[in-house]
Amino acid sequence: MAQEKDVISRMNDMYNSMSKGRKAIAKYIFDHFDEAVFMTAAELGKTVGTSESTVVRFAMFLGYEGYPEFVEALEDMVSTKFGRVERVSDRYEGSTDRDILESVMKMDINNIQESMMKMDCLAFRTAVDIILNARTVYVVGIRSCEPLAEFLHFYLNMVRGNIVLVKTTSMSEMFEQMIRIDENDAIIGISFPRYSMRTLKCMEFANDRNAKVISITDSIHSPMNLYSSCNLLAQSNMTSIVDSLVAPLSLINALIVALCMRRPDEVKRDLQLLEDTWNNYQVYLSDEIDFVGEEPIINYSLRKEDSNSASSNIY
């Protein structure tokens, strides 16, 4: 067997040409490949609601001689995934905590440097234009990318408003949240290996509705680019069980800063309004600690007002 691509890559490349039954098999393997590797063709077919013969034809459709060869390729991929733990142990065996800290941070720095070299400035500028001009911007990121999506949603909402964070474990509910998306809107899909089929389907739905689609992913070969008209790439490589998301976060920071610089007056006005709102309504509920000199002050503005009031009463 001489396959140049792993099972996931092959399914990504051929997904659009699959029948409904084959797409159901592919979707299950995308989300549960570590379980599918132990299933017979009959068991996999029963799980996804199709026949054993459809599963066998699916394997042959991907270029394998039959289901046994397909399972062998799936086993290789799974062993590679879980073999990371052993590789981490070999790499850092005998290392001090200091050594590990420096090594990991250097890899993160390298990811940022690689991302800078590969960044398409035109795509970055286009993304800023799309976000500013869209009526509503939808943001979706699943599993390990969920914190990135939440971070982007939080700051985009400060910059321009009308931001929807698509957040649920149900595919049907995700579509429900996006049901009104159309050519006046945009979606930002964030996904890194292992890529999320749910994120991909949201982007496909948005593309079918003629919305602008922006992807934040790791490679030009990422399936997230299938439905995206604007691809922002950031490295996420790390030889460990944890993929580095430092470069993607840095890219998102740059995106937010660029948006602020495009409309500084509006951003300043909105932030001032937000600050005034905090002062008017959240003084007694503040969960932030400010420092004045070396003394931590909680609700300092309130205490300052009380102090001024007391001083005025003296006179």
Same domain, 40 and 68: yes
Tell me the pTM.
Answer: 0.63
Cβ atoms of 106 and 236 closer than 8 Å: no
- Look at residue 76 and tell me if it is in a domain: yes
- Tokens 């649920």 map to which residue? 168
Cβ atoms of 206 and 224 closer than 8 Å: no
- Look at residue 34 and tell me if it is in a domain: yes
CATH of the domain at 166: 3.40.50.10490
Determine the Cα–Cα distance for residues 251 and 240; give it in Å rounded to an integer: 22
pLDDT at res. 284: 43
Query: If you ran DSSP here, which 8-state letter would residue 50 be given?
Result: S
Same domain, 253 and 128: yes
- Look at residue 105 and tell me if it is in a domain: no
CATH of the domain at 52: 1.10.10.10
For residue 167, what are its two tokens? Answer: 């957040």
- Look at residue 205 and tell me if it is in a domain: yes
- Look at residue 260 and tell me if it is in a domain: yes
Determine the Cα–Cα distance for residues 68 and 101; give it in Å rounded to an integer: 43
- Look at residue 18 and tell me if it is in a domain: yes
Same domain, 43 and 179: no
Same domain, 253 and 171: yes
Which residue range is the domain that position 290 belongs to? 282-314
Same domain, 221 and 141: yes
pLDDT at res. 230: 92
Reduced to 3 states (helix: H, G, I; strand: E, B; else coil), residue 165 is strand
pLDDT at res. 207: 93
Same domain, 293 and 209: no
pLDDT at res. 129: 94
- Look at residue 210 and tell me if it is in a domain: yes
Distances (CA, A) of 61 to 13, 19, 68, 136: 12, 11, 14, 40
Same domain, 301 and 193: no
Reduced to 3 states (helix: H, G, I; strand: E, B; else coil), residue 187 is strand
Q: Would you write out the chain's pLDDT as a tens digit for each of its 315 residues? A: 334 567 877 887 788 888 888 988 988 887 777 778 878 889 899 999 989 999 999 999 998 988 888 888 887 776 655 545 555 555 556 677 787 788 778 888 888 888 888 888 999 999 999 999 999 999 999 888 899 999 999 999 888 889 999 987 677 788 889 999 999 999 999 988 778 888 888 999 999 999 999 999 988 878 888 888 899 999 887 655 567 888 999 999 999 999 988 888 887 787 777 777 767 665 445 555 555 555 544 444 444 455 555 544 544
Query: If you ran DSSP here, which 8-state letter would residue 292 be given?
Result: E
Same domain, 196 and 310: no
Cβ atoms of 238 and 192 closer than 8 Å: no
- Residue 298 pairs with which residues in a beta bridge? 289
Cβ atoms of 156 and 139 closer than 8 Å: yes
> How many domains does the chain fold into?
3
The pair phi, psi for residue 162, each rounded to 5°, is: 55, 50
Query: If you ran DSSP here, which 8-state letter would residue 64 be given?
Result: -
- Look at residue 253 and tell me if it is in a domain: yes
Same domain, 290 and 240: no
Same domain, 308 and 232: no
Determine the Cα–Cα distance for residues 183 and 177; give it in Å rounded to an integer: 16
Same domain, 243 and 305: no
For helices 246-262 and 121-133, what crossing angle results, to 10°?
60
Same domain, 128 and 20: no
